[in-house]
Structure 1
């Protein structure tokens, strides 16, 4: 059973983490504190937060209301969308990203075509493929905006290696493509792959097989540095990236 926080997918789920220490939720608390020009640190427990909250901004009716409203909103979202992992700042800075994540999750079971990213983002689709026996393989990917305009693509040969190496190499190559495209200074990135194992390792390095830990760590660092949204999709949706990977095999 997955016991990771349903919001950030990084740390074990607990009452204190969900309502206090989760980077997504604490980002919301911090935004409220900043708006009211209140200096405060993360308390040791939810009880401690409740006991001091009203005193932080005395004689404010709306401030009293915020505490209960935000706790209710967090609990409701976790219950309503248990499989949606929210990247840091998406609720704080750009709520439309969360809308995109929820709508994509709802339609994933029937999705049969590429879905454009929200405005201000580009989407990177990557894939790796190996011939039988792992004697050679290929990686491929393409970077597109919400109008479907291609910013860049790649199709390269790799191997001989296990198939998971091809997947990781495709992800790493795609992230570098995003960086050199120059779009990283103007907008965000949504990374899509049909390899659930590779994505799980990137989101939680502790799940990674030690043999591949060094490569996964490098990729995870890039994901955090660029604040990348990572999503798993079906192979049938990722067919263009898969075609580029097969082209790389030759």
Structure 2
């Protein structure tokens, strides 16, 4: 049998072979030719594992999966996201989305495999969702929204590596949901361009990503409506504020009627320049959002950023006559609090 299976021409097929059929068969023939037979009793062995063969283990090897990938998928399937979005994500990861490059390989009559967005390279999964220059600008704005360095766009766009960029259980759920919303929005925008000739705009795409991610998190009881505006400008802050709502009643003991949260951010970029910003909000004891702010500042250190955020919050409360009662100011800086 091994001697007869040397090339495609030695075999008779019931139908004409497509390009991808021939590629797979050539790989099989190459493996068969590596078999060396000996005159002894045959035995069955499973070289990939000392244990007996299982379809689960075989599938993992064929797809190049490891245990960490399986664990990540188990978490993702548990996300409260519409099933069709999760199926889209699974198809994308396994390379079976109907992209032009794949359609040209598997179907006759498909001549164009160029990217639907830039028309410069073949439309593959890696190109459409990561390498395309049109999509790169979306990822850069997306990373800015989450306060993540744009240098990440220079790396390999591996999905699991991207969702591991943010640590912390609650933050990671929100971040992963946002990444999935971005991939789905790119796919929808691509299809609208192909089938309806609908041009897309960067601001519109990013806005849809924010709305979709927030709605999915809200359906999973991970957000409330009062934080939607805050989520639009500061997703990390919205995550932290939402988690604090479960402890909001802790402030009743001091007879507080208004609670203010502030936070400052400061860092040195790769180019050596300084970037800083402040943000915060004011709520009542029921969690209703009364005021929200976020923007850049001129702080020269992390401590100055924290101080500016708290002072800005205090000034807004002082200037607003509608905020009456006992105020509790909250900051995560022990130094500023002691001062």
TM-score, normalising length: structure 1? 0.33
Structure ranking higher in strand proportion: 1
TM-score, normalising length: structure 2? 0.25
Structure with bigger RCO (C-alpha 8 Å, 6+ apart)? 1
Structure ranking higher in helix proportion: 2
